[in-house]
Amino acid sequence: MIVPVWEMTLISFFKFLRKLVGDDLNSCSYRQLEQIENQLKKSLVTVRVRKAQLLADYVKKLRAKDKYLLEENLRLSENCGEKAWQPVTKKKRKSVAAIRC
């Protein structure tokens, strides 16, 4: 029986994937294991870089949303003729705590 080239390539690919996830390593030489380890290290760096980028983007969006909400609060406070909301600082917390005691 003749196996098509694409099928052989697919079989080789799945064997490689099994090795990457730690299965079927008994047939690997020391050098092959080092190559797999190095590939995993490179992949891990790529994953961590992408994760850090997503986190940085999320923080940036949250800061933009915070700024927008503070500006909207200020605008609404001015429309109602009320004093604008001010964030509570550590100094204000201490003075409030001292008054309560």
Q: What is the pLDDT of residues 43-98, one digit of tens each?
A: 999 999 999 999 999 999 999 999 999 999 999 988 888 665 666 666 666 665 56
Q: What is the pLDDT of residues 9-29, one digit of tens each?
A: 888 888 888 887 888 788 889
Could you tell me the end-to-end alpha-carbon distance of the chain, in angstroms, rounded to an integer? 89
Backbone angles phi, psi at 71, to 5 degrees: -65, -40
Are 87 and 73 in contact by the 8 Å Cβ rule? The answer is no
- Could you tell me the residue ranges of all domains in the chain? 29-81
User: How far is 92 from 87, CA to CA, in rounded Å?
Assistant: 9
